[in-house]
Amino acid sequence: MHKGTAIKRELKQAADAAETVTNSRALEMLARAGFAASGILHLLVGAIAIRLATGGTGSADFSGAVAELATQPAGPFLLWASFAACAALAIWQASDAIFDYTHLPAKQKAANKAKAAAQAVVFAGMALTLMSFAMGTGSDDDNRKAASDLTFSLMKAPGGVALLVLLGTAIAVTGVVYAIRGLRKSFEKHLVMPANPSARTAVTVLGVAGYVAKGTVLLLAGLLIAIAAWQSHPEQSTGLDGGLRGLRDQPMGIYLLAAVGAGLICYGAYMIVRAKIARMIR
């Protein structure tokens, strides 16, 4: 009994120490930079989407965006700096999922923890993509190939088709949630809005346009995964780039794709602003 108590005490001390580290000012500043790094990548994805709409080339996903970032002056520095920022934001979100929201009712606490955990996974994925390019092992078709390979592997597993349909549906529903969040302006509660009315309006406009565009691309990507699994065509599960290319092939598609690209640029600008005005206090 005494040994068990000692182990529990040591585990609590370790958890307290981890929470102290993740609440540090240094990590907060890096985590804020993670929002900016994400914003830059969204700006690049949006620019690539507009390029595709006008007959150009490129991969309109995060691998394509990182590949373009790597071609800029001081590319290696930008890649490593963005990796550190996204990794810090992933750690910050993971800390939220583990340590925070304890004062909330059980249902709300579970929802907030799940959301923070999902965000941690997203930013960790960005960090890994940035690291692979910084180390020279990444390529601009990584996301598309990874999506197709994952779909193919899961389809061969027992219950894999149903799991993929559920996964695609979940991503599509997330896209709808993003769009609703934008239209309702509910993202504003996570910000310390500027006092200047013009600045407040600018942030709101960027947020609304950005969240609706982000929701649209998530909806398209999720539907592609679900349809590819349902029809047993794993090669059609091509992630964000495939979703945007599919949009281009629809009636009036080039205009819709250009509009979504402009929206993603708005979302990128919003994320850069968010790096400054996000509510980070726990």
The Cα 99–Cα 258 span in angstroms is 41
**For position 152, what pLDDT does the model report?**
64
State pLDDT tens for residues 157-197: 667 677 878 888 898 999 999 999 999 999 998 899 998 99
> What residues have CB less than 8 Å from 83, skipping those under 6 apart?
127, 130, 131, 134
Does pLDDT of 3 surpass 60? no
Residue-wise pLDDT tens digits, 197-211: 999 999 999 999 999
Question: What pTM does this model have?
Answer: 0.82
Confidence at 14, pLDDT banded by 50, 70, 90: very low
Residue extents of the structural domains in the chain:
14-277
Q: Report residue 148's pLDDT band, with 50, 70 and 90 as the boundaries.
A: low
